[in-house]
């Protein structure tokens, strides 16, 4: 049995937390999966996993070995990529996830041009504002806003995205124009919150004169679709926090107005997340390069109306 196959199997077991799940992912039987792990443990002379009938956990030695194992696989994949002409027509399905606003406004418009250039590739685009799990959901890459919680994945930063608090003129006429986060909370303004199953308590990170402060928001309106929050804001139901590129047209037309301007929201990172083994997949890298090249300037150039770059 190849030592490299054993390492690959270990990495998938570590990432998926299950022998059976790793076996399915690698298209090998549970018996072969277990055998490869046992051979690797025998070679190293340590236990990499603690196994019970119900659970499997990496030992301290397993956790330490994981980082080195990933580096080995990356090096091998990089070497293999050097001898593969990635300008050959890539083929196969590409599974991509993105938040609703990002996907609708930035990612989906790039897909037809990409498929026109690479006709043997199919793009399966999944849009959702909940957090996705690349390994268990079979995704090749995911665009996202914020910081990833899974440190075992690879991340490619695209840009820092400016955000804004905004509401409709009708809401401001009825409830007043709050100039700061403190005023929003004190006056109990209606906050339109993005929530989904498993979401943590929602807070708005605002830049105050004393530095960054997180304001716990409240309100009667919650949804797991960010575009619904924009619709509610346009209809005068409350204040929403959104990336500027998602509401720039409404701000320009006056359908939405900036509020809380004395304590603007902290910018948020937009990035692309992918697993180690997806990095050297030609179609994955081609799609990342293709999309990022076209959207990074759009993000950076989208500013608040009449606002000078900060």
DSSP string across 204-251? EEEEETTEEEEEE---S-EES-HHHHHHHHHTTS-BEEEEHHHHHHHH
pLDDT of residue 239: 96
> What integer pLDDT is reported at residue 2 of this predicted model?
85
pLDDT at 218 (0 to 100):
80
- Estimate the crossing angle of helix 60-82 against helix 3-16, to 10 degrees: 120
pLDDT of residue 156: 87
Q: Which fold has domain 92-159+269-301?
A: D-Maltodextrin-Binding Protein; domain 2 (3.40.190)
Q: Which fold has domain 3-82?
A: Arc Repressor Mutant, subunit A (1.10.10)
CATH topology of domain 163-266: D-Maltodextrin-Binding Protein; domain 2 (3.40.190)
- CATH 1.10.10.10 domain position(s) in the chain: 3-82
Q: Which pLDDT value is given to residue 310?
A: 38
The pLDDT score that the predictor gives to residue 179 is 94
Q: What is the pLDDT of residue 129?
A: 81
Residue 235's pLDDT is what?
Answer: 97
Q: Write out the chain's pLDDT in tens, 310 residues.
A: 588 889 989 988 888 888 888 888 777 888 899 899 999 999 999 999 988 777 888 899 988 898 888 888 877 766 655 555 555 578 888 899 999 889 998 999 999 999 999 998 999 999 988 888 887 777 889 998 887 766 567 888 888 889 999 999 999 999 999 999 999 999 999 999 887 655 555 788 999 998 999 988 888 998 888 889 999 999 999 999 999 989 999 999 999 999 999 999 998 888 998 876 555 578 888 899 999 988 887 777 676 766 433 3
Output the CA torsion sign for 35, 38, 43, 49: positive
Is the pTM for the entire model greater than 0.85?
A: no
The ranges of the chain annotated as CATH 3.40.190.10 are 92-159+269-301, 163-266
Burial class (CB in 10 A: 0-12, 13-18, 19+), 287: buried
Report the length, in residues, of the chain: 310
- The pLDDT value recorded for residue 229 is 94
Q: Residue 197's pLDDT is what?
A: 56
Q: Check residue 291 and give its pLDDT.
A: 93
CA-based end-to-end distance of the chain: 57
CA distances from 6 to 42, 46, 47, 70 (A): 11, 14, 14, 12
């Amino acid at each position: 049995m190849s030592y490299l196959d054993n390492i690959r199997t270990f990495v998938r077991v570590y990432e998926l937390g299950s022998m059976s799940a790793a076996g399915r992912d690698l298209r090998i039987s549970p018996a072969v999966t277990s055998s490869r792990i046992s051979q690797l443990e025998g070679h190293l002379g340590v236990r990499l996993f603690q196994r019970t009938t119900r659970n499997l956990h990496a030992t301290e030695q397993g956790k330490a070995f994981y980082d080195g194992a990933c580096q080995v696989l990356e090096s091998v994949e990089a070497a293999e990529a050097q001898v593969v002409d990635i300008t050959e027509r890539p083929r196969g399905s590409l599974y991509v996830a993105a938040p609703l606003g990002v996907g609708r406004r930035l990612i989906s418009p790039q897909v037809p041009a990409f498929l026109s250039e690479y006709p043997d590739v199919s793009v399966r685009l999944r849009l959702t504002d909940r957090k996705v799990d690349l390994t268990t959901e079979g995704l090749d890459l995911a665009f996202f806003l914020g910081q990833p919680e899974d440190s075992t994945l690879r991340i490619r930063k695209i840009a820092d995205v400016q955000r804004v608090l905004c509401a409709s003129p009708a809401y401001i006429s009825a409830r007043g124009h709050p100039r700061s986060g403190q005023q929003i909370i004190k006056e109990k303004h209606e906050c339109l919150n993005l929530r989904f199953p498993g979401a943590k308590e929602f807070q708005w990170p605002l830049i105050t004169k004393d530095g960054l402060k997180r304001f716990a928001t409240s309100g009667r309106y919650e949804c797991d679709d960010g575009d619904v929050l924009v619709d509610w804001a346009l209809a005068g139901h409350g204040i929403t926090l959104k990336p500027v590129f998602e509401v720039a047209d409404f701000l320009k037309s006056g359908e939405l107005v900036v509020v809380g301007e004395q304590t603007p929201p902290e910018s948020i990172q937009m990035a692309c997340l992918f697993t180690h083994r997806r990095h050297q997949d030609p179609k994955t890298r081609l799609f990342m390069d293709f999309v990022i090249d076209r959207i990074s300037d759009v993000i950076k150039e989208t500013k608040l109306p009449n606002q000078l770059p900060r």
